[in-house]
Amino acid sequence: MKSMILTLIGKDKPGLVESLAQKVYEMEGNWLASNFSYMGGHFAGFLEVDIPEQNHAGLIEWLHAHPALTIHSVKSDDTSVTDTTIAEIDIMGNDKPGIVQELTATLSQFNINIIKFESSCESAPNWGSLLFKAHAKVSIPANFEIDALSDALEGIANDLVVDVALR
């Protein structure tokens, strides 16, 4: 068995995930992990499956023929980073251009990898303006000085007038 990573996108409709799960099962595969979202009438996501290597081509062929999905696949990279700690960052404030750019530039400056990032804009209660919210999981290298990152994130919070919490 060899893992495959699939990225999927298509017009959303009921049954997309079920049809994919059924095909993975039929091809003697095991569903390892997934992350799916709905946005603007479209379905998008990532999926990792462990499937016998002789069935990889068949699954790819089936996915390319699927009328509702566009896919991209890669073989899983079996390397893993072990000397890291996972931290979480939450940001919330009035929406404005540059929030994500400032956050990602700061993380990149410290060579911190983003593992998961979710963001949204929603109507702020009692204000009528948009409220930006983001949640990130990041991988902090071993022996990293967390206070330096905390100070940099505090600087972003002050510059952009947003709340930033590091856990």
Rounded to two decimals, the pTM is 0.73
Q: Is residue 101 within a helix (H) or strand (E), and if so which, with residue range?
A: helix 99-109
Give the model's confidence band at 79: pLDDT under 50 very low, under 70 low, under 90 confident, else very high.
Answer: low
Q: What is the pLDDT of residue 44?
A: 92
Of the pLDDT bands very low, low, confident and very high (cuts 50, 70, 90), residue 67 is confident
Q: Evaluate whether 60 touches 24 at the Cβ level (below 8 Å).
A: no
Q: Please name each of the domains of the chain with its CATH number.
A: 2-75 (3.30.70.260), 84-166 (3.30.70.260)
β partners of residue 141: 84
Q: What is the pLDDT of residues 124-147, one digit of tens each?
A: 777 778 899 999 999 998 889 899
